[in-house]
Structure 1
């Protein structure tokens, strides 16, 4: 009886080993996966379409880069204000969602080379008397929480103190909704994001052309110790630039090649 039980246990263990091998590729090693954290309400970089699928410029770029590296890619929506905590806790492997490269963020995040320029502009309703940052005095201004737009307004102490109110929103869409209803007089956000929103609502908004603060750049963020992953991803991006893949994706979302 003991021999029979021992044989059954041996067969069960062998079955478990075989089952484990079933998830491996033909070389016997599991295909690596990269988990990318993003704010899924940040069009056109990463957002949900009418079918609730996550789409966007950065999504297409990440998929193509992962393909070149023979990796699977998973997109994980996160609270953007906690992005660095999500990265350091290893719940995600990278931040790829129109993320501005700043000296402060460099302290905790390892960045790729810049791949696109970023400007923070003031957006108002058509017909608004606001024509410049000086005209924001006594007005209510909205920004997205933990965004560069918020940083730039807070950094400009004179501008910040001149405002009637300064409202911080979980995402820029909520800020634009309040702009539409008159709860805020202006929204400060990324140029690419704001212009995409403008294109969907013809003649409804106006962008004040002079940027708030300095012109920045977008980069992909990795953990400080993940130099190997960063270098591999950068090589894939360089190849995409060289073979025209990134230009094709840029043309799809922006109508021209604006990739650095």
Structure 2
């Protein structure tokens, strides 16, 4: 009987083993769905606070300007508090990558070199790099800049625009860089510069304030586009900013802001 009992036990165990092998494993529980991205609570905008009419300080030292109004409106649509932080514009990429600011929004020209480090919205404004001289200047063309001292803002796209025109760039006596365009214009007025190359939106703003003092040459250093920039990996914020910008263009909000600062709608659709 002992032997029979042993055989029965062995048979039962073998049957149990075969049954276990025939079972399919239960499917693993599906991974929990990724949580939806949290709304943007706050956005720090880096800007040059001496860049009218895009962003500058008025008589009461309040930050105002076309880009200030655009960014404020976009922030409302995102439900985010927007803070404006003046930065050294020449170090803007470092300010962005180090997360001291979240967005660069201040007449930021879209260039191939910048696209390697910055994620851009679609263009919202078209700009040219114009040449400003004093009204009595003998300079009337780019050819007349040969042997002359030309001013630019350090870190601006004006530098790249001039360098692209190799013949003109080589002909200059000096390309003098300034921390801001206001100082450069002062040097132009007192004769330390022969010409200033600057964003058209800025140059036209200043020259209109002092009629008869400056002239804008017919020739320029090319057309470019402005965009809003974020860090390359900040795709969620970029998507929301782009959506807000698209809505502002389509519902007329951007046009209204443009009319306030430029007297007409110059927003690029």
Q: TM-score, normalised by structure 2?
A: 0.83
Partners of 1:225 and 1:39 lie apart in 2 by 24
- C-alpha displacement at 1:110, in angstroms? 0.2
Q: Equivalent residue of 2:220, what SS?
A: coil
Aligned 1:119-198 pairs, distance under 5 A: 119-198=128-207
Match of 2:94 in 1: 85
Structure 2 stretches lacking a partner, 5+ long: 1-37
2:57 is the alignment partner of 1:48:
yes
Aligned to 2:211, the other structure's residue is in SS state coil
Q: Equivalent residue for 1:258?
A: 266
Aligned-residue offset at 1:80: 0.4
Query: Do structure 1's residue 69 and structure 2's residue 78 form an aligned pair?
Result: yes
Task: After TM superposition, give the deviation of residue 154 of structure 1 in Å.
Answer: 2.7
Deviation, 1:76, is 0.2
Segments ≥4 residues shifted beyond 6 Å = none
Kept in 1: contact 2:40–2:237 (CA 8 A): no
- Out of 237, 241, 247, the residue aligned to residue 245 of structure 2 is 237
Instruction: Output one character per residue of 1:183-241: Cα deviation in whole Å (capped at 9) or x when no partner.
Output: 001000111110000111122111112221x3110000000011110110111111111
Structure 1 residues 31 and 99: CA distance shift in structure 2, 3 A: closer
State the number of aligned residues.
231
2:216 counterpart of 1:203: no
* Residue 30 (structure 1) shift: 9.4
Flag the structure with larger Rg.
2
Alpha carbons 2:49, 2:55 under 8 Å: kept = yes
> Aligned-residue CA RMSD in angstroms?
1.3
Contact 2:148–2:173 (Cα < 8 Å) also in 1: yes
User: What are the residue-to-residue correspondences of 1:90-129 with 2, within 5 Å?
Assistant: 90-129=99-138
Deviation at residue 99 of structure 1 after TM alignment: 0.3
Q: TM-score, normalized by length of structure 1?
A: 0.86
| Whole-angstrom distance in 1 between the partners of 2:203 and 2:154 | 16
Report how far residue 89 of structure 1 moved.
0.4
Going from structure 1 to structure 2, the CA distance change for 1:31 and 1:87 (only over 3 Å counts) comes to closer
